[in-house]
Structure 1
Amino acid sequence: MLTIENLKIEFKSHGRRVAPVDGVSFSLGQDETVGLLGESGCGKSVTALSILRLFPMASQARLSGAIRFGERDLLQADDATLRSIRGKEIAMIFQEPMTSLNPLHRIGDQLGEMLRIHTSLSRQAIDAKVIAMLERVGLSRAAQLVDEYPHSLSGGMRQRVMIAMALLCQPRLLVCDEPTTALDVTIQAQILDLMRDLKREQKTSILMITHDLGVVAEMCQRVVVMYAGQVVEQSSVEDLFDRPAHPYTHALMRARPALDATPGASLTAIPGSVPPPGTIAQGCRFAARCTRAQDICRQEMPVLENLGDGHSVRCWYPH
């Protein structure tokens, strides 16, 4: 359904161009959930925004490579084509709904706009479909909520509104940019259950951007691990948890809290931080934080090597 090939995204910063996404390639199949995993700053959200070209004009973003949705290359599509795709065929759920919902418009008007743009339904039919979708995502006071403003809703309710908006036109692909990060664990579990049910009913493919390994284990069939703008590992969920190959993925697994850990025991943290874009001239981008790094790691960039069974890794010395 979706194929990203050698995607590079450059922004102008302090008079020079930097690339927070540099040569990313992966695919997403029909009725499949793929997780895009990595620390903050690795390029996950920028990759997601590039699918629908949701960059402000002031950013002067320069994109190269290919993003194929079916037979269409979205990087070559004109504005009219993108407007016809956004919301109807590809929808996106953002990390913070309060910044995505317009505070000056009622909930019902904002959801109804999606149907007014992409369908020829009557006003009465639009209102009925909006209320039905709000009820479907677990909002019991749907008939009253359509007349309320975003600030009067809780965080969990706003996120459900965003999910309802994304699913109104039954898109083929749903891009979720850390949709449960700002929610408590109880609401997070409810949102994930809801997305799983709706995916099963509507046969929607999902690209789940997250840094939460629990969300990956519960929701995804395959995982793409990103670090410093590059894909460093791809595999099925089972392989990723059973035999992580890249030292970065292995370190992420070790940093997980354990249910049987000794009370008061500290987590195994990864030293250092993700390098800013454009600060590494050569070699593996994880070398400065890697306990297995050798001279070649600091001098030459490894390629993404296929280990078999759909498992690939970018490392000179994989586990």
Structure 2
Amino acid sequence: MPKLNALVAGSTGYIGVQLIKLLINHKYINIKYLCGNSSVGKNISYYDKSLSKKKLPKIVKFNPKLLNGIDVVFTALPNGEAQDIAKKLNDNITLIDLAADFRLKKVNDYLKWYKQKHRAPKLQKKSIYCLPEINRDELKNHNIISCPGCYPTSILLPLVPLIKKKLVKLDNIIIDSKSGYSGAGRGVHKKYKDKNLYESLSAYGVGFHRHNSEIHQFLSKFTNKNFQFSFTPHLSPMFRGILSTIYLDLEKNVNQSKIIKTLEISYKGENFVKILDSDKLLSTNDVINTNNCFITVCKSKYKNKIIIISAIDNLIKGGAGQAVQNLNNKFNFPERTALK
């Protein structure tokens, strides 16, 4: 099978570098261009020494002429920039966006949560928000693929099957998530330089984090009822990983065993979602450097409540790995390709 030519825009951030590490091991992908702004002319190994022995192109500034002969464009850029690139693509090029440019279907929602007008509203309507284990079957007819955010990935995977089966009450879902600081990008070191980033835990975006909109939009696909959830993210003194703890009220005649069985059935045969034994303790260390999402269901001291914990690597399953997973499903490659 001939290789697809790929362009990576935003190649020097934590997510971009992780994506390159996966793509160099993808037997159906040829990385033709790496694009950046302040990094033009540099080798990608400047940002990660482990890439020093790899034959990769030097970083160049993006321009539309580079799109000739390109099959796939990956964008890991500041919000808004993928919209401009999308307008320059023809129907033969697939765009896989790792940022938030095409996550929200309503332009008013994008303006509300990201404080900027959407610059490609017509294309936004044609894009797909794809969490592979849930809606990969809808992927084939879309050339703009929006990858879920890292927090929503860890939250939606355990929640969607339970809401679809009406096993949990929808009026008081509480979500507590903790992420490694790589999720905030390379600028995190300057932003938190006075907050002892490497030895302290910080709550942020309390009540109004942007991922609230994404979580609400996707969950709304699976219920006609009104629902309420509280989501609080935290920045943790570790480089990578996300641990989400979700507190749920059970519907009548639902217990821990039924919750576990539902999740096991929902993800039976999936490559990357693993449902652990009941009350199994879980840590981010269990999933680091993998595309896995591990989920454990724990008892509460109250019979009508349950506690679910999920763990992912924010840079892989919550970012670059999920992008590659969507690539593989879009082009009918084996889903595990480059994601061993």
Task: Give the greater-gyration-radius structure (CA).
Answer: 1
TM-score tier, shorter chain, comes to under 0.3
For normalisation by structure 1, the TM-score amounts to 0.27
For normalisation by structure 2, the TM-score amounts to 0.26
